[in-house]
């Protein structure tokens, strides 16, 4: 299997290549970024295709298309009484294409690497301690999402933001932050129990794959061509 | 970072994650909807989080670390524009760090307000760097769009360029400073809450 022959550096290279292509190529050429993301996902990260089942993804795409048609260009046709812009709709479409490419590549990386590997990579490029910090932050994201969801539900049950908005917002922020800090305390205790320290820690091991070198070289050539073509 | 404890790093990770989450969710939506003053709103939210973090870990480099973590998380954002906000996050963190270094010592109102104000000011200047120098747009078009948007937002005559510019700069500076002062209060409240064991 190809995906088993790709290491951490190769997986990061895939994301980086899609990000640069999406940022460098505008308009209809954004489709190249999506094409690259699709090919890389198909070859190395098939798990990334799970995002097509995400309602949030399609809502986001619809918001981009809708906001483009409504606000991004001069209106030249109407849907009922709403003035819409075809050039804005097309601009929104290319934004959505770029967003899809980035989301696919990001999901691919998330499916193929762990925060530990991410941390290991950063530690290796001289950012001692930062790798650990980023690893913990990535690990905290699902907990933060759950915590903020629960906090919002609690606030809504108490009347939401209909009255005393400032106090409710402050309470919500405090609750999310204090929950996150409590969880952080547990992480710190666990890390200290395992002997972690900025000075004495060694970078976490990275996966190496036979395809890392050839893939990175191919992507580098492709990126250089894309930047020149821009 | 060498003499930082594990607890310091984990606390910075928490605040970096919070800023990152705000940028990935609220920031992506606000930028997609092209609402006015999105930069100021996101800069204010970011400074609120980062300076609250500084009140927990009052060490040199703490705000910059929080900013770098948030910027790295922003790279995984769902929005189509990633590099420009990442640059803005790091630039705001650097400016806030400079202000805190000038103030020195434990978190106090004046340095925190200065840190927030400088970060807010960056959000005013950022289009010239992000869209102009990096994006290749002409400075003139960015400037005229800024003036037109400012005139519409503040209900001022588009001809009163200096008044619009002064009002926009003031708005960004005051917005950032308020975020800095609020962060100090939030940090104190949070510390009391954690000491009392309230969730």
Spatial distance between the Cα atoms of A58 and A56, rounded to a whole number of angstroms = 6
Residue B183 has pLDDT above 90, yes or no: yes
The ipTM of this complex is 0.82
For helices B139-154 and B161-196, angle between their N-to-C axes, nearest 10 degrees? 70
**pLDDT mean over A94-119:** 78
More confident residue, B114 or B146: B114
pLDDT of residue B49: 94
- Has residue A191 got a pLDDT over 90? no
Facing B80 at nearest CB: one of A95, A130, A198: A95
Find which of A58, A108, A181 to mutate to test the B interface (most B CBs within 10 Å of its CB): A181
Average of per-residue pLDDT across A200-223: 81
pLDDT of B16-72, one tens digit each? 999 998 888 788 777 767 777 888 899 999 999 999 999 988 988 899 999 989 988
pLDDT for residue A93: 87
Q: Give CA angle at B113 (A155, B129), nearest 5°.
A: 95
- Which backbone phi and psi does A82 adopt, to 5 degrees? -90, 120
Beta-bridge partners for A84: A77
Shortest distance between the Cα of A68 and any Cα of chain B, in A, equals: 8
What is the structure's pLDDT at B133?
61
Identify which of A50-54, B69-73, B195-199 has the greatest average pLDDT. B69-73
Q: Sign of the CA dihedral B20, B25, B29, B30?
A: negative
pLDDT for A200: 64
Q: Do B78 and A184 count as a contact with CB atoms less than 8 A apart?
A: no
Greatest CA separation for chain A = 67
Report the C-alpha gap between B32 and B85 in whole angstroms: 13
Smallest CA–CA distance, residue B33 to chain A, in Å, is 6
Closest chain B C-alpha to A199 CA, distance in angstroms: 6
Look at residue B101 and tell me whether its pLDDT is greater than 80: yes
Q: To the nearest whole number, what is the mean pLDDT of chain A?
A: 82
Q: Residue B96 has what pLDDT? A: 94
The arithmetic mean of pLDDT across residues A32-60, rounded, is 85
- Looking at the complex, report in whole angstroms how far the Cα of residue B16 sits from the nearest Cα belonging to chain A: 7
- The answer to whether residue B196 neighbours chain A at the CB level (below 8 Å) is no
- For residue A115, what pLDDT is reported? 59
Cβ neighbours, 10 Å, residue A132: 28
What pLDDT is recorded for position B76? 64
User: What pLDDT is stored for residue B26 in this prediction?
Assistant: 82
Distance (Å, whole) CA B55 – CA B20 = 18
Count how many residues are written for chain A. Answer: 230
Residue to substitute from A134, A139, A145, interface B, most B β-carbons within 10 A: A134
Lowest mean pLDDT among A130-144, B70-84, B154-168: B70-84
Which chain A residues are Cβ-neighbours of B41 within 8 angstroms?
Answer: none
**Does the beta-carbon distance from A134 to B16 stay under 8 Å?**
yes
Q: What is the pLDDT of residues A127-148, one digit of tens each?
A: 677 777 887 887 788 788 888 8
- Of the candidates B6, B17, B194, the beta carbon closest to that of A137 is on B17
- What mean pLDDT is predicted for residues B163-169? 88
Q: Does B134 touch chain A (CB under 8 A)?
A: no
How close A217 comes to chain B (CA, Å)? 22
Mean pLDDT of chain B, nearest integer:
84
Q: Is the pLDDT of residue A90 over 60?
A: yes
Most confident range (mean pLDDT) of A9-13, A114-118, A198-202, B178-182 is B178-182
**Residue B186 CB-half CA count within 13 A:** 29
Q: Is the pLDDT of residue B173 over 90?
A: yes
A122 has pLDDT over 80: no
Chain A partners within 8 Å of B69 (Cβ) = 130, 133-134, 137
Contact between B13 and A184 using a beta-carbon 8 Å cutoff? yes
Query: What's chain B's length in residues?
Result: 199
Overall pTM > 0.80: no
Model confidence band, residue B82 (pLDDT cutoffs 50, 70, 90): low
Residue B198 has pLDDT above 70, yes or no: no
For residue B98, what pLDDT band results from cuts at 50, 70 and 90?
very high
Question: Does position A116 have pLDDT exceeding 70, yes or no?
Answer: no
Least confident interval from A70-74, A92-96, B35-39, B138-142: B138-142
Record: contact B190-A19, CB cut-off 8 A: no
Q: Kindly determine whether residue A129 and residue B68, on different chains, have CB atoms separated by under 8 Å.
A: no
- Distance, in angstroms, between B191 CA and closest chain A CA? 9
* Interchain CB distance below 8 Å, B199 and A178: yes
In this prediction, residue B102 carries a pLDDT of 87
Q: Identify the burial level of A133 via C-beta atoms within 10 angstroms of its C-beta, where 0-12 means exposed, 13-18 middle and 19 or more buried.
A: buried
Q: What is the DSSP string of chain B?
A: -TT--HHHHHHHHHHHHHHHHHIIIIIHHHHHHT-TTHHHHHHHHHHHHHHHHHHHS-STTHHHHHHHHHHHHHTT-SSS--HHHHHHHHHHHHHHHHHHHHH-SS--HHHHHHHHHHHHHHHHHHHIIIIIIIT---HHHHHHHHHHHHHHHHT--TT-HHHHHHHHHHHHHHHHHHHHHHHHHHHHHHHHHHHHT--
Centre a 10 Å sphere on the Cβ of residue B165 and count the other Cβ atoms it contains: 15
- Contact between B9 and A129 using a beta-carbon 8 Å cutoff: yes
The pLDDT tens digits for B86-95 are 889 999 999 9
To the nearest whole percent, how much of chain B has pLDDT over 90?
36
pLDDT tens, position by position, B116-129 = 999 999 988 888 77
pLDDT, residue A94, reads 86
Residue B92: its pLDDT value, please?
94
Which of A29, A185, A33 shows the shortest CA–CA distance to A102? A33
**Which residues does chain A have within 8 Å of residue B21's beta carbon, measured at their own beta carbons?**
141, 144-145, 148
Give residue limits of the domains in chain B.
Answer: 6-198
């Amino acid at each position: 299997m190809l995906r088993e022959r790709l290491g951490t550096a190769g997986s990061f290279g895939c994301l980086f290549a899609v990000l640069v292509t999406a940022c460098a190529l505008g308009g209809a050429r954004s489709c190249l970024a999506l094409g690259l993301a699709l090919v890389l996902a198909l070859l190395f990260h098939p798990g990334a295709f799970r995002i097509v089942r995400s309602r949030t993804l399609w809502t986001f795409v619809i918001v981009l298309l809708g906001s483009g048609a409504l606000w991004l260009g001069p209106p030249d046709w109407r849907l009922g009484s709403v003035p819409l812009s075809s050039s804005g709709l097309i601009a929104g479409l290319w934004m959505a294409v770029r967003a899809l490419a980035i989301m696919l590549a990001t999901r691919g990386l998330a499916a193929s690497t762990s925060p530990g590997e991410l941390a290991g990579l950063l530690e290796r490029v001289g950012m001692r301690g930062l790798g650990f910090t980023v690893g913990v932050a990535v690990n905290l994201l699902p907990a933060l999402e759950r915590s903020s969801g629960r906090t919002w539900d609690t606030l809504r049950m108490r009347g939401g933001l209909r009255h005393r908005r400032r106090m409710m917002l402050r309470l919500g922020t405090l609750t999310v932050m204090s929950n996150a800090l409590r969880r952080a305390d547990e992480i710190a205790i666990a890390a200290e129990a395992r002997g972690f320290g900025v000075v004495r820690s060694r970078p976490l091991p990275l996966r190496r794959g036979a395809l890392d070198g050839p893939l990175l070289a191919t992507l580098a050539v492709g990126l250089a061509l894309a930047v020149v073509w821009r | 970072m060498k003499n930082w404890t594990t607890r310091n790093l984990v606390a910075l990770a928490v605040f970096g994650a919070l800023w990152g989450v705000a940028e990935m969710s609220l920031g992506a939506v606000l930028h997609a909807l092209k609402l006015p003053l999105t930069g100021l709103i996101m800069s204010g939210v970011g400074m609120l989080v980062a300076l609250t973090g500084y009140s927990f870990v009052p060490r040199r480099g703490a705000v910059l670390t929080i900013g770098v973590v948030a910027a790295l998380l922003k790279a995984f954002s769902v929005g189509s524009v990633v590099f420009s906000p990442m640059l803005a996050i790091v630039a705001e963190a650097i400016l806030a760090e400079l202000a805190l270094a000038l103030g020195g010592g434990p978190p106090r109102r004046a340095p925190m307000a200065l840190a927030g104000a400088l970060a807010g000011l960056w959000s005013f200047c950022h289009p010239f760097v992000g869209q102009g120098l990096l994006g290749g747009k002409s400075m003139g078009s960015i400037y005229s769009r800024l003036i037109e948007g400012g005139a519409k937002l503040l209900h001022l005559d588009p001809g009163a360029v200096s008044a619009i510019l002064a009002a926009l700069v003031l708005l960004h500076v005051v917005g950032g400073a308020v975020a800095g002062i609020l962060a100090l209060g939030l940090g104190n409240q949070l510390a009391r809450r954690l000491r009392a064991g309230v969730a």
